[in-house]
């Protein structure tokens, strides 16, 4: 296979010169991006950005992304014999005006807001946290900052603004404010309208965050679309530390079926210390193995008794010490005897 790929590369280079790689990228995703006669699937990838907005505006998305979801919503409404003569596309963080260019091509009205007071199109100086959404729309395309990965106010334009999502003090603050804006936008949808939110995963200060997983889900979920990323500024860097590079974004599409009833869910984060709390899923084997891992992989029986004496499992079992010894015996392949009463985990033993 490797030889065939190398031969294909040479043929493409000879035929198309410097354009060969873009052509190969397009061919590579074509089958995923078009199925069942549909041009929008649950996977989208646009190696060529397309026309509209400015590719110099960091963090901007391809106009082909906006066009794909806009055409889908328009086609859906036409299929169900709904008028599109008064159809507006609203973009509350319009940046360089990508959504306007797409709406103009598709022959629909665009409503643009942006925090930047000197926004090239639409209403500048619009604060998503403190200003009302005065308009309603059949499609709201929302592409917020990915926390602080790219700072906009005071960097891309103007002076720093405390209500800029890219300047939130931490990730939890970002998610809380993002969810408030999502609710505000959903309430501005017309019935049978769509809210399309384009977000990505991020890695900040060594921590991984999945915005699409943590943000509020509102309305009726219609689609979860994975989008390939191209030409990221970090692509050319090399890192010694192991990690999984982020090469995708996600567009989550919600439909408004009822003007008054709003279904919603959101992620609830928390943690449980199993050295102190019990749960139905926790077995004696898992508990013993975990406390031994925490202790460095080896422990005397007396240490295990001391560590687990006040645990709910022990309090509920008058023969808990016997249960510890029996568990070790039942899993002799994982607990290796390394002393008279000392045991070590097989995968951590020296």
* Mean pLDDT lowest among 64-78, 235-249, 309-323: 235-249
Write the pLDDT tens digit of every residue in 222-260: 999 999 988 666 666 777 788 888 999 999 999 999 999
Same domain flag for 143 and 219: yes
Q: How far apart are CA 1 and CA 4, in angstroms?
A: 5
Backbone angles phi, psi at 67, to 5 degrees: -65, -40
Q: 256-302 pLDDT, tens per residue?
A: 999 999 999 988 888 999 999 999 999 999 999 999 999 999 999 99
Residue 2 located in a structural domain: yes
* Secondary structure (3-state) at 200: strand
Q: What is the pLDDT of residue 268?
A: 84
Q: Are residues 65 and 20 in the same domain?
A: no
Query: Which domain CATH number covers 49?
Result: 3.40.50.150
Tell whether 203 and 333 lie within a shared domain. Answer: no
Integer Cα distance of 97 and 116 in angstroms: 12
Last residue of a domain, one of 265, 299, 323: 265
Interval 7-33: pLDDT, tens: 888 988 888 888 888 888 888 888 888
- Residue 152's pLDDT is 94
Q: What is the pLDDT of residue 87?
A: 97
Split at pLDDT 50, 70, 90, the class of 329 is: very high
Q: Given this model, what pLDDT does residue 233 score?
A: 60
Domain count within the chain: 3
Confidence at residue 4, expressed as pLDDT on a 0 to 100 scale = 86
Q: Is 162 part of a structural domain of the chain?
A: yes
pLDDT score, position 232: 63
How many other C-beta atoms are found inside a 10 Å radius of the C-beta of residue 20? 17
One domain for residues 88 and 6: no
Cβ within 8 Å of residue 292, ≥6 positions away: 298, 299, 304, 343, 344, 345
The pLDDT of 110-123, averaged and rounded, is: 96
Burial of 131 (0-12, 13-18, 19+ CB in 10 A): middle
Q: Are residues 183 and 224 in the same domain?
A: yes
pLDDT at 49: 79
- Are 289 and 259 in a shared domain? no
The better pLDDT of the pair 314, 1 is held by 314
Q: Could you tell me if residue 170 is inside a domain?
A: yes
Q: Which domain holds residue 24?
A: 1-32
Length of the chain counted residue by residue: 350
In a domain, 250, yes or no: yes
Q: What is the pLDDT of residue 241?
A: 82
201, 230, 265 - which closes a domain? 265
Same domain, 97 and 10: no
Q: Do 57 and 206 fall within a single domain?
A: yes
User: In this predicted model, which residue has the larger pLDDT, 206 or 157?
Assistant: 157
Q: State percent of the chain over pLDDT 90.
A: 76
Structure tokens at 217: 């889900």
Q: What is the mean pLDDT of the chain?
A: 92
């Amino acid at each position: 296979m490797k030889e065939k790929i190398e031969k294909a590369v040479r043929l493409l280079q000879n035929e198309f010169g410097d354009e060969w790689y873009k052509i190969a990228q397009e061919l590579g995703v074509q089958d995923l991006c078009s199925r069942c006669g549909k041009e929008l699937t649950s996977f989208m990838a646009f190696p060529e950005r397309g026309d509209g907005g400015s590719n110099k505006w960091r963090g901007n998305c391809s106009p082909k992304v906006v066009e794909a979801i806009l055409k889908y919503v328009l086609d859906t409404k036409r299929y169900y014999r709904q008028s599109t003569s008064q159809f507006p596309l609203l973009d509350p963080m319009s940046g360089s005006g990508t959504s306007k260019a797409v709406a103009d091509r598709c022959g629909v009205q665009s409503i643009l807001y942006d925090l930047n007071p000197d926004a090239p199109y639409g209403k500048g100086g619009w604060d998503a946290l403190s200003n009302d959404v005065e308009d309603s729309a059949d499609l709201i395309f929302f592409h917020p900052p990915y926390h602080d990965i790219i700072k906009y106010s005071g960097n891309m334009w103007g002076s720093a603004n405390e209500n800029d999502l890219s300047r939130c003090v931490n990730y939890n603050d970002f998610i809380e404010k993002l969810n408030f804006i999502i609710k505000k936008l959903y309430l501005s949808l017309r019935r049978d309208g769509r809210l399309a939110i384009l977000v990505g995963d991020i890695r900040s200060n060594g921590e991984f965050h999945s915005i699409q997983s943590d943000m509020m889900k509102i309305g009726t979920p219609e689609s979860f679309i994975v989008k390939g990323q191209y030409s990221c500024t970090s692509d050319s860097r090399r890192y010694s530390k192991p990690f999984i590079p982020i090469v995708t974004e996600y567009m989550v599409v919600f439909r408004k079926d009822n003007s008054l009833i709003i279904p919603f869910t959101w992620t609830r984060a928390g943690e449980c210390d199993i050295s102190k709390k019990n749960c139905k899923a926790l077995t004696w084997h898992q508990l013993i193995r975990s406390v031994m891992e925490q202790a460095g992989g080896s422990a005397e029986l007396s240490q295990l008794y001391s560590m687990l004496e006040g645990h709910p499992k022990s309090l509920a079992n008058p023969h808990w010490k016997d249960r510890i010894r029996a568990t070790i015996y039942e899993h002799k392949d994982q607990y290796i005897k390394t002393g008279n009463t000392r045991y070590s985990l097989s995968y951590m033993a020296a």
